[in-house]
Amino acid sequence: MARPTTKEQLKQSSEDNFKKLFDLINSISDEEQAKTFSFEDRDKNVRDVLVHLYEWHQLLLNWIQSNQSGNKASFLPELYNWKTYPQMNIAFWEKHQETPLEKAITLLKKSHSDAIALVDTFSNEELFTNKYFSWTGTTSLGSYCVSATSSHYDWAIKKIKKHQKSLAGK
């Protein structure tokens, strides 16, 4: 699917990819969900992928809410920039090593719902006009939303499919 360019496309693509993600997860056994990926350095299992998505939802939600309430905030936490965000992802991974898979699922489902509800509060123009909000820099709010939802879910689907394929090859 092409990258969403309207509010309705964003919501539909996010919901579709979220459903595909959970259909995929539910198609593999609990044992396979818990298995370590044979190909990854950071996200080593399904839980790691899900908490990664959850943490990126938190970035989006906190960034929008802070800026809307007049507290100027960057999308990435102070310690990071777009060159160093891989270290942030590692910190997210480390933070959740004791998070059980079921908790990761619960966290992600809630944060997905919160993200979609927040997207719904904006007009198409607010979401997809570059520089509509000063705090989005040269891009649009919708671009950030797509990256944290629908396209990130696509990334997760590919990673879990790769895991599934590696299990079938054993």
Question: What is the per-residue pLDDT for 49?
Answer: 97
d(CA 127, CA 133): 9
Would you state the structure tokens that stand for residue 159, as one six-digit string? Answer: 């990673």
Q: Does residue 141 surpass a pLDDT of 70?
A: yes
Which sign does the torsion angle of CA 126, 132, 135, 138 carry?
A: positive
Model confidence band, residue 167 (pLDDT cutoffs 50, 70, 90) = confident
Query: How far is residue 46's CA from residue 103's CA, in Å, rounded to a whole number?
Result: 12
The mean pLDDT of 116-124, rounded to a whole number, is 98
Q: Which residues of 52-61 are buried (b: 16+ CB within 10 A; e: fewer)?
A: bbbbbbbbbb
Distance, in Å, from the CA atom of 45 to the CA atom of 43, rounded to the nearest integer, reads 6
40-81+89-168 topology per CATH: Four Helix Bundle (Hemerythrin (Met), subunit A) (1.20.120)
Q: Could you tell me the residue ranges of all domains in the chain?
A: 40-81+89-168
pLDDT at 1: 61
pLDDT score of 41:
80
Predicted confidence (pLDDT) at residue 40 exceeds the cutoff of 80: no
What percentage of the chain carries pLDDT values higher than 70? 99
Cβ pair 85, 74 in contact under 8 A: no
pLDDT in tens, 79-112: 999 999 999 999 999 999 999 999 999 999 999 9
Average model confidence (pLDDT) across the chain: 95
Say if residue 168's pLDDT is above 90.
no
What Rg do the C-alpha atoms of the chain give, in angstroms? 16
Six-digit token string for 74 = 């960057």
pTM: 0.96
- Average pLDDT score over residue span 7-12: 98
